Amino acid sequence: MQRDDRLNNLPPVPAGAAEEESPKDGAATKAPKASRAKKAPSAKSKSAKAKSAPKKAKASRTSASTSKKKQAETKQDQNEVPRLLLQYRNETLSALMDEFDYKNVMEVPAVQKIVINIGAGEAREEARALEGIQRDLSNIAGQKPVVTRAKQAIAGFKIREGQPIGASVTLRGTRMWFFLDRLISIALPRTRDFRGLSRKGFDGRGDYSMGLTEQIIFPEIDFNTIDKIRGLQVSIVTSANSDQEGMKLLEMLGMPFVRQEAV
């Protein structure tokens, strides 16, 4: 048999290659180094943690108690029925049915919404005027107002399309009845030289609009914080079909109109 000389013809292996491979093979067999032991907490850190624990517990208790109180107050406000609404249900409803001979309770007119509007003609020259109007409206109505903008440009009044020209608030439900009660019982009697509301403010469909010359007649407005005395318009929208029904509804709710004989 002939001898295989292919092994003798292989190139020689470099001397450093075997030494470089040996540490790699040994690295896999080495055991990982033991992790450093954690330092034991000192007595100072233990005492600091012990002191901070009751403080955190007290803070969490106080925050929980305040949140519970706020929730209880909001529930109480929501469940509270306005005085004027009770008067409407107990007295005004039956009186209107007898006077106008309504066959169904749903035919009796009721107040649907109240819109409060303040114009800001000076807002095109002074930007802060609109902020004061919004602040006054939110204090009066208890609701954030909406900025009204011009629908079209009017060259005579120097108004551009989309320019802010005022602010308005629409009240419904419980807030509407509370505002109407404050308007009738507190705000209107505080008006300077007040002699009653005009009966000519109806629009022919039972809705009534009135103009107030000063916003300071409302007790929510502080005279020392306002920047200017402004007038506002209040529109009371009812479900009445005629001015006579709307007028009678507001009269029974306590609206101080001028006497019929003086008209």
CB 182 within 8 A of CB 203: no
What are the helix (H) ranges across the chain? Answer: 15-29, 43-79, 83-87, 93-100, 128-141, 173-182, 243-253
With respect to residue 41, please indicate whether it lies within any of the assigned structural domains: no
pLDDT in tens, 146-174: 988 888 888 877 777 877 788 899 999 99
Angle of helix 243-253 relative to helix 93-100, nearest 10 degrees?
150
pLDDT at 25 over 50: no
With respect to residue 47, please indicate whether it lies within any of the assigned structural domains: no
Average pLDDT, whole number, for the chain? 78
With respect to residue 3, please indicate whether it lies within any of the assigned structural domains: no
pLDDT in tens, 100-132: 999 999 999 999 999 999 887 766 666 677 888
Tell me which residue range forms the domain holding 111.
85-262
- Cα distance between residue 181 and residue 199, in whole Å: 19
Total domains, the chain: 1
User: Which of 33-47, 140-154, 198-212 is most confident?
Assistant: 198-212
How big is the CA angle at 20 (ends 17 and 26), to the nearest 5 degrees? Answer: 130
Q: Please indicate whether residue 81 or residue 13 has the higher confidence score (pLDDT).
A: 81
- Cα distance between residue 82 and residue 88, in whole Å: 10
Locus of tokens 């009721």: 110
Based on the number of CB atoms within 10 Å of its own CB, is 67 exposed (0-12), middle (13-18) or buried (19 or more)?
Answer: exposed
Q: CA separation (Å) from 210 to 1, 27, 163?
A: 128, 94, 25
- CATH code, domain with 122: 3.30.1440.10
Position 97 scores a pLDDT of: 92
With respect to residue 123, please indicate whether it lies within any of the assigned structural domains: yes
CB 199 within 8 A of CB 250: no
With respect to residue 1, please indicate whether it lies within any of the assigned structural domains: no
What φ, ψ does residue 104 adopt, rounded to 5°? -130, 145
Position 250 scores a pLDDT of: 94
- Cα distance between residue 120 and residue 98, in whole Å: 45
Strands 146-149 and 111-119 turn out to be unpaired
Min mean pLDDT across 80-84, 160-164, 222-226 is at 160-164
pLDDT at 251 over 70: yes
The predicted model gives 64-72 an average pLDDT of 63
With respect to residue 107, please indicate whether it lies within any of the assigned structural domains: yes
The predicted model gives 222-245 an average pLDDT of 89
CB 138 within 8 A of CB 97: no
Min mean pLDDT across 88-97, 159-168, 189-198, 242-251 is at 159-168
The pLDDT > 90 percentage for the chain reads 35
Indicate the pTM of the whole model. 0.65
Position 73 scores a pLDDT of: 56
The predicted model gives 70-94 an average pLDDT of 77
With respect to residue 216, please indicate whether it lies within any of the assigned structural domains: yes
- Cα distance between residue 185 and residue 190, in whole Å: 9
The predicted model gives 193-219 an average pLDDT of 90
With respect to residue 80, please indicate whether it lies within any of the assigned structural domains: no
Position 13 scores a pLDDT of: 57
